[in-house]
Amino acid sequence: MAAAKKSETKVVLQYGELSVTYDEIVQRMKDKWTGDYGRKIGEIKSMELYVKPEEGKVYYVINEGEESGDYSL
């Protein structure tokens, strides 16, 4: 019996001239977490990202409110 082929999904947000993938949005938050906060990726237990393309922002809540803020798309 052959193994089932794994499917791939790519999500792209397009708004005006903006085009950004789901993976890019998540990676930017991880970079912010390690760079700006000096934390390790393994310390993220939950990540909520609210994308507001009309504002050019991503609002975030990490670990149920341990850290929150925003960053530019």
pLDDT tens digits along 1-40: 667 788 999 999 999 999 999 999 999 999 999 999 999 9
Neighbours of 5 (CB within 10 A): 6
Q: Is residue 3 part of a domain?
A: no
- Interval 37-60: pLDDT, tens: 999 999 999 999 999 999 999 999
CA dist 71 and 37 (Å) reads 13
Q: Is residue 17 part of a domain?
A: yes
The domain in which residue 19 lies consists of 13-72
Contact 26, 58 (CB under 8 A): no
What pLDDT does residue 1 have? 64
Per-residue CA distances from 14 to 8, 45, 52, 73 (Å)? 19, 28, 11, 11
Q: Is residue 6 part of a domain?
A: no
Backbone φ and ψ of 52, nearest 5°: -120, 85
Q: Is residue 57 part of a domain?
A: yes
Q: Give me the number of domains the chain comprises.
A: 1
